[in-house]
Structure 1
Amino acid sequence: MIEATGLTKRYGARTAVDGMTFTVRPGTVTGFLGPNGAGKSTTMRMVVGLDRPTSGTVTVNGKHYARHRAPLGEVGALLDAKAVHSGRSARSHLLAQAATHGIGRRRVDEVVEMTGLAPVAGKRAGTFSLGMGQRLGIAAALLGDPQTLILDEPVNGLDPEGVLWVRHLLRGLAAEGRTVFLSSHLMTEMALTADHLIVVGRGRVIADAPVSEIVARAQTTAVQVRTPSAAQLAAVLTRDPGVVVASVAHDVLEVTGSTPPAVAAVAAAAGLVLHGLAPVETSLEDAYMQLTADAVEYRSAPSHAAAGGRR
């Protein structure tokens, strides 16, 4: 379990983490989401003692990380897959870490096999692709068979097989009663992997709830309609001032402020044919964008190509 209370980190005049309070519970995959600069990486670093809080506290399995006699057996962390001596082989890197905790060679062999590193275990880590580097980082996190895992962007650079493997691995570990704390910008993967979400923005917690609840809060009454009479239907629907119609394609409309039965009734009364009618499902990405709309610090400018080509 990870427990943060009033966790704050300042760098001079800048506040990176601003009074965060949350609990990451065992038996659950908890996703940690937020825009760039929201304080996610700083928070994870404070959990494992790499940064000291300006104020507040954070404990792992009931203790501050530095007070655990054998930290690798309590917490496995992947915060930077590149934090490896590039001249060492994957196996040598893991053996060196294992030696600090009296972990035997057999466990090193187990995590090498578990993470698919066996074919490259004797190669220098500096020659690894991004995906293989991620696998090595995950192997190191699993080395002490910890009760708590903290992983920052673990599927970055992995191929589809690797992404699926990580998903099953994390859900399996949570099913064993372990605590899994996962940060990622891949919303589709987070929706498939996480049970609970902590969403942060500008250093503060802005949502802390199950995935299903966060998505449900963002549900809108939108309907997608396919019809050969899109323009005529749009004109009829917008006679109601509470209805907004947007054109998605030449024969597809997205209607907000109405329901499928109501749209069907309006079309029937006007003698217009419908080829498709369905409610629009809200995705985790939609919910996340709504939650963080006012918390994005770094916004991209429209590209010249999108605005009409090069100058």
Structure 2
Amino acid sequence: MIEAQRLTKRYPDATAVDGVSFTIRPGIVTGFLGPNGAGKSTTMRMIMGLDRPTAGTVTVNGTSYARFRAPLGEVGALLDAKAVHRGRSAENHLLSLAATHGIARRRVHDVIEATGLSTVARKRVGTFSLGMGQRLGIAAALLGDPQTLILDEPVNGLDPEGVLWVRTLLRGLAAEGRTVFLSSHLMSEMALTADHLVILGRGRVIVDAPTREVVGRAQKAAVQVTTPMGAELERVLLRHPGVSVVVIDRGILEVTGIDAPRIAAAASVEGIVLHGLAPVHVSLEEAYMQLTADAVEYRSSSDLTDRVDSTDPARPDPSGPVSHDRTTGGSR
């Protein structure tokens, strides 16, 4: 279990984490989300004792990370897959970590096999692809057979087979009663992997709830209607006050302001054939975008073609220099 109480990290020019409190429980996968600059990486670094909090506390199983005598057996972490000696082989990297904790050589071979590194175990890490580097980072996190795992973007660079492997691995570890805490920008994957979500915005917790509840909060009160008589149905429904109709595709309408039974009744009265009525489901990505709309620190500008029009004399000459927004900031 990971517990943060009023966790705060201030820098001279900014507050990266501002009074964050949460509990990451064992037995489930908890996803950690937020826009770039929201404070996710800083929070993970404070959990791991790499950054000292300005205020507040964070513990793993009731103890601060710095107090663990054999931390690899308590917490496995992947915060930066590139933080490896590039001249070492994958096997020697893991053996050096194992030696610091008296971990048996057999365990090193086990995690190499489990993470799919057997064929490259004796190759230098500097020759690895991004995906193989991620697998090595996960192998290091698993080395001490810890009860708690903290993974920052573990599927970054992995192919579809690798992504599925990570998903299956993490859900399996959670099913064993372990604490699994991971961040990712891949919303579709997080929706399949995480049971619970903690979402940060501008250094503060804006959501701490089960994944289904997060999606449910953003659910549209809309009905998707399939009919070969779309134009006729649209005219009928728009007679009702407060109803709006959007044509999604030929024969498919998205209707708001009226529920499915009333749509069916109105269509029946007018002799309109319906092939289907279904609620419109919101994805985790859509829910996330709604929840963090006011918390995005690094926002891209609109398309340059929208901002620079050669037919408008009040606008700059498109052949001249164009200044770009700064959009490259990362999470602190």
User: Deviations along 1:60-98, whole A, 9 cap, x unmatched?
Assistant: 121111110011111000011111111111011111111
The equivalent of 1:300 in structure 2 is: 300
**Residue 77 of structure 1: SS of its match in structure 2?**
strand
Distance 1:186 1:164 in 2: 13
Partner amino acid, structure 1, of 2:62: G
Distance 1:305 1:148 in 2: 49
Q: Aligned runs of 1:71-150 on 2, under 5 Å?
A: 71-150=71-150
The equivalent of 1:159 in structure 2 is: 159
Partner amino acid, structure 2, of 1:53: P
Bigger Cα displacement from structure 2, 241-250 vs 178-187: 241-250
The equivalent of 1:212 in structure 2 is: 212
Q: Give TM-score, length-normalised by structure 1.
A: 0.94
The alpha carbon displacement at 1:306 in A equals 8.7
Partner amino acid, structure 1, of 2:172: G
Bigger Cα displacement from structure 2, 174-183 vs 234-243: 234-243
Partner amino acid, structure 2, of 1:94: L
The equivalent of 2:249 in structure 1 is: 249
The question of 1:12 aligning with 2:1 is answered no
**Residue 62 of structure 1: SS of its match in structure 2?**
coil
Identity %: 74
Bigger Cα displacement from structure 2, 264-273 vs 53-62: 264-273
The alpha carbon displacement at 1:11 in A equals 1.4
Contact 1:38 1:201 in 2 (8 A): yes
Distance 1:241 1:38 in 2: 42
- Is the alpha carbon distance of 1:119 and 1:308 closer, same or farther for their aligned partners in structure 2, counting shifts above 3 Å? farther
Distance 1:309 1:63 in 2: 60
| Superposition CA RMSD, Å | 2.0
Partner amino acid, structure 2, of 1:279: P
Distance 2:115 2:216 in 1: 35
The question of 1:276 aligning with 2:276 is answered yes
Contact 1:201 1:296 in 2 (8 A): yes
Report how many aligned residue pairs link the two structures: 311
Partner amino acid, structure 2, of 1:147: Q
Distance 1:48 1:176 in 2: 23
Distance 2:281 2:103 in 1: 48
Structure 2: where are the runs of 5+ without partners? 311-317, 319-332
User: Deviations along 1:163-185, whole A, 9 cap, x unmatched?
Assistant: 11111111111111111001111
Contact 1:147 1:179 in 2 (8 A): yes
User: Deviations along 1:121-142, whole A, 9 cap, x unmatched?
Assistant: 0111111111101000000000
Distance 1:23 1:109 in 2: 34
The alpha carbon displacement at 1:249 in A equals 2.1
Partner amino acid, structure 2, of 1:15: T
Distance 2:158 2:219 in 1: 32
Structure 1: where are the runs of 5+ without partners? none
Partner amino acid, structure 2, of 1:180: V
The question of 1:67 aligning with 2:67 is answered yes
The alpha carbon displacement at 1:302 in A equals 3.3
The equivalent of 1:170 in structure 2 is: 170
Bigger Cα displacement from structure 2, 292-301 vs 131-140: 292-301
Partner amino acid, structure 2, of 1:277: L
Distance 1:111 1:258 in 2: 55
The alpha carbon displacement at 1:269 in A equals 2.9
The equivalent of 1:197 in structure 2 is: 197
The equivalent of 2:286 in structure 1 is: 286
The equivalent of 2:264 in structure 1 is: 264
User: Deviations along 1:197-255, whole A, 9 cap, x unmatched?
Assistant: 11111111111111122222222211112334434433332333322222222432211
The equivalent of 2:183 in structure 1 is: 183
Distance 2:205 2:185 in 1: 17
Contact 1:112 1:118 in 2 (8 A): yes
Partner amino acid, structure 1, of 2:207: A
Distance 2:173 2:309 in 1: 49
The alpha carbon displacement at 1:282 in A equals 2.2
Contact 1:259 1:279 in 2 (8 A): no
